[in-house]
Structure 1
Amino acid sequence: MKQLRKFLILPALLLSVLVLSGCERPPIEAVQHGYRGTAMDIIYNPRTLAEQAEKNAVPASYGAAPADGPKAGAVYKNVKVLNNLSVAQFTSFMVSMTSWVAPEQGCSYCHNAANFADDSLYTKQVARNMILMTQRVNTQWQDHVAQTGVTCYTCHRGNNIPQNVWFKEPKQQTGNGLLGNKDGQNTPVAASGYSSLPNDYFSSYLSKSSNIRVAGNTALPTGNKHSINETEATYGLMMHFSKSLGVNCTYCHNSRNFSSWEESPPQRAKAWYAIRMAQDINNNYMDPIKGLFPPHRLGPTGDVAKANCATCHQGAYKPLYGVSMLSDYPFLTGPAKPPLKGQDSAPPAKSVAMK
């Protein structure tokens, strides 16, 4: 009997480790987010917050460059964006962009070092459109970004390509026999939390404007037209929100009545605008410049990298924990222009009223 117990102890310990590996190691912290009695607690892990703090640190500020003096467009050749900046503002911003996007490659990541006016590098043309996109976000999407705004650093953080982008998932082959048709799910990927949920919901919600619904407004069978697949895709999107912002469901919802806008915190309205902002960015600033990118920078179906919530937030409830960098770069709140013409461009979409 003793031998049998010893023989069973090790498998039991291994099983316990396996079961508990999916749980958070205490201590955890709970912060009341809604009215008393609603149990709308936000659960935080102090260890995760400590790790996130370094990732969301803001670069040292050197102050805004002076706006007086000769204009960049008059001094330098072929300046198509921000040509109304002073030379001091323009050169200061170029140095900052280099540290934000290409700290290892330096200026040559976007420029021909022998001729800075040359447009032969695709990265230079992409950068122009990304500046216009940043201005668009800071001027037209203040319902989401408020006065905090965004800069190139918000997404890139020292990387050529933001660490969190998405591509359209390739269509899965219809299976045979017991495998069946996976119907765009049942293939674990990070975007769906490695679950059986649909794995290309970004295309539906952050590119197309599909309805995000779990239930209809009237009783079955005539009123509720929403399928189980739509419901599962909605769950996948909500999981993405949660992980991207480092929060749980009650950050945007009253768990007593998830569908009620009247009982939801203000953050839900912010998220509503965030979805439409992502659609604007992806449809009017990313997709139209697909032709600029070489094949190795495109996804498995040939599409360009696009933005989701994690692109900016990177695990924080507010990107960079709400610290604004715009005081040093006020021109990034300048006029919101569409992408440059002649590059498969399209005019930016207009925001629609909340429904």
Structure 2
Amino acid sequence: MKVSLFSAPKILPLAAVGLAAMIVAGCERPPPESEQRGYRGVGMVAYVNPRILAAQHRANVPPAVQPPAVPVPIAAGTVYKNLQVLGDVPLTEFTRLMLALTEWVVPKDQWVAGQGCVYCHDLADMAADTKYQKVVSRSMITMTQRANAAWGDHVAPTGVTCYTCHRGNAIPKYVWTTNPGRAASGQGASGQNRLSAVPAFASLPYDPMTTFFDKDTTIAITPATALSPGWNDTINTKKTEWTYALMMYMSRSLGVGCNHCHNSRQFADWSQSQLTRTKAWYAIRMVREINHAFVMPLSDILPATRKGPLGDPMRVGCETCHQGINKPLFGEPMLKDYPVLGQPSPAVVPTPDVVPEPAVVPAAVQTDAEVLNAPGGKVTGEAAVQEGLM
């Protein structure tokens, strides 16, 4: 006699256990904590799991600060040759910064005879640009100084250092190159519907970084008026999906939800957005400048191991610095201990391979001081561009 699967006495308890396991698997432990980020009733709440947060804090401990240097009236450029960027830095502070750079960038397994200097330098002639790593590091130091000196609307007051991105790795863990998709196999590519973690495995374009970080592409989803003339070239369903892909990437990069920057009752309205949206506006343009002015010009000297399948250099994005946290290293102000990296460099900024069109700053994108002094303590200015533009 056949016994029904559901009538077997031992099956029901097992089924109950399995169902309970499925339900529990969809829950978090311990219960997430919430933080109100906007007006009550608009759902602008950030959720944090204390267990995950604790693990993130353990993984984002900056290295110990190098001991202070004894001040000396001797510039490093008077002692060492070919110092194109840091020649005017006091000798002892220059040495201190080199020690820090070695710890931040050079993995311990690449130290030769206990020295990390050889990763960039030819010990037979320390001044020579024999190794491409030295030329790259010079550009990266200039880039860091530029970010701190010119992009304070995004990085201030914390600032950035080489460690912000590298974390003890020669190549930052979270860099990107153009994704060729199916085009690499000759099948053609639509730029969409390919399994990718970038848009959180959604059915969205899988390479928004090339679209928005390599180009001055409009970021928008909704026009201000119905069927407004001229918007067909700016906003349509296809371009909206590209924007959503970028937003998914940014959300994952910072470990936050949409309401970290936006009010979900009206995503496009700057006056209802958080100040973090303003910082994100500057961040996108800072990333574009970094890639065009400091990374792409190095393409000719970089080996294939530093490039993608299409031969383009590894570039930076939001995740490069943030690494899953809304403030890199939880806002640890490392720059204050290495002020040299916050000074405008006397070196000539590399010429961008492609100069993006100058960004028109919306009136709604104001500094924190302007916003705090505005009525209601929020962005209230009329946008210089139509609503919906990022």
TM-score w.r.t. the length of structure 1 is 0.89
Native 8 Å contact 2:292 2:352 kept in 1:
no
Deviation at 1:316, TM superposition (A): 1.4
Counterpart of 1:54 (choices 54, 58, 65) is 58
Give the fraction of aligned pairs with identical amino acids, expressed as a percent: 45
2:361 partner letter: A
* Residue 207 of structure 1: aligned partner: 214
Q: Greater CA deviation, 150-159 or 102-111?
A: 102-111
1:84-99, aligned counterparts within 5 Å?
Answer: 84-99=88-103
Structure 1 residues 195 and 344, CA, compared in 2 at 3 Å: closer, same or farther? closer
Please, which of 81, 86, 96 is the counterpart of residue 85 of structure 2? 81
Q: Which amino acid aligns with 2:240?
A: T
Structure 1 residue 207, shift from structure 2 partner: 1.6
| Pairing 1:312-327 to 2, within 5 Å after superposition | 312-327=321-336
Following the alignment from structure 1 to structure 2, what is the Cα–Cα distance between the partners of residues 193 and 136?
Answer: 32
Change (3 A) 1:79 1:316: same
Residue of structure 2 aligned with 1:34, choices 24, 34, 38: 38
Give the Å deviation of 1:297.
1.3
SS at match of 2:278: helix
SS in 1 for 2:267: coil
Contact 1:217 1:224 in 2 (8 A): no
Distance 2:236 2:256 in 1: 27
User: 8 Å contact 2:82–2:127 — kept in the other structure?
Assistant: yes
Identify the residue that residue 147 of structure 2 maps to in structure 1.
137
Task: Give the C-alpha shift of residue 69 in structure 1.
Answer: 2.8
**Contact 2:46–2:256, Cα closer than 8 Å, also in 1:** yes
Residue among 119, 127, 131 paired with 1:117? 127
Distance of aligned partners of 1:347 and 1:185 in 2 relative to their CA distance in 1, 3 Å threshold: closer
Alignment of 1:220-259 (within 5 A): 220=227, 222=229, 224-225=231-232, 226-259=235-268
Q: Contact (CA 8 Å) 2:85, 2:345: kept in 1 or not? A: no
Q: In the aligned structure 2, how far is the partner of 1:19 from the partner of 1:299?
A: 42
Cα deviations by residue, 1:125-144 (Å, 9 ceiling, x for unpaired): 00000000001100110000
Unaligned runs of 5+ in 2: 111-115, 363-383, 385-390
Maintained 8 Å contact 2:216/2:357: no
How far the C-alpha of 1:23 sits from its partner, in A, is 5.5
> How far apart in 1 are the matches of 2:355 and 2:193?
37
Match of 2:338 in 1: 329
Distance in 2 between residues matched to 1:192 and 1:19, nearest whole Å: 26
Q: 1:304 aligns with which of 305, 313, 319?
A: 313
SS at match of 1:292: coil
Whole-Å separation in 1 of the counterparts to 2:15 and 2:192: 33
The alignment status of 1:295 with 2:304, answered yes or no, reads yes
Deviations along 1:263-295, whole A, 9 cap, x unmatched? 111111011111111111111111111112011
Q: Which deviates the most, 189-198 or 157-166?
A: 189-198
Q: 2:179 aligns with which of 162, 165, 169?
A: 169
AA matched with 2:96: S
Tell me the equivalent position of 2:167.
157
**Could you say which residue in structure 2 is the equivalent of 1:353?**
361
2:72 to 68, 71, 96: 68
Question: Could you say what secondary structure the match of 1:168 adopts?
Answer: coil
1:348–1:213 Cα change, 3 Å: closer
Q: Which residue of 187, 194, 199 corresponds with 1:192?
A: 199
Answer whether contact 1:133 1:281 (CA < 8 A) is retained: yes
- Does 306-315 or 231-240 show the bigger shift? 231-240
In structure 2, what is the equivalent of residue 285 of structure 1?
294
CA RMSD in angstroms comes to 2.9
TM-score, length-scaled by structure 2: 0.82
The alpha-carbon deviation at position 257 of structure 1 amounts to 1.0
Tell me what 1:45 maps to: 49
Of residues 259-268 and 193-202 in structure 1, the stretch that sits farther from structure 2 once superposed is 193-202
Provide the residue aligned with 2:375 in structure 1.
none
Bigger relative CO (Cα 8 Å, ≥ 6 apart): 1
CA distance in 2, matches of 1:22, 1:291: 49
| Alignment CA distance shift 1:68-1:278 (3 Å) | same
1:346 to 1:186, Cα distance in 2 relative to 1, 3 A: closer
Amino acid at match of 1:152: C
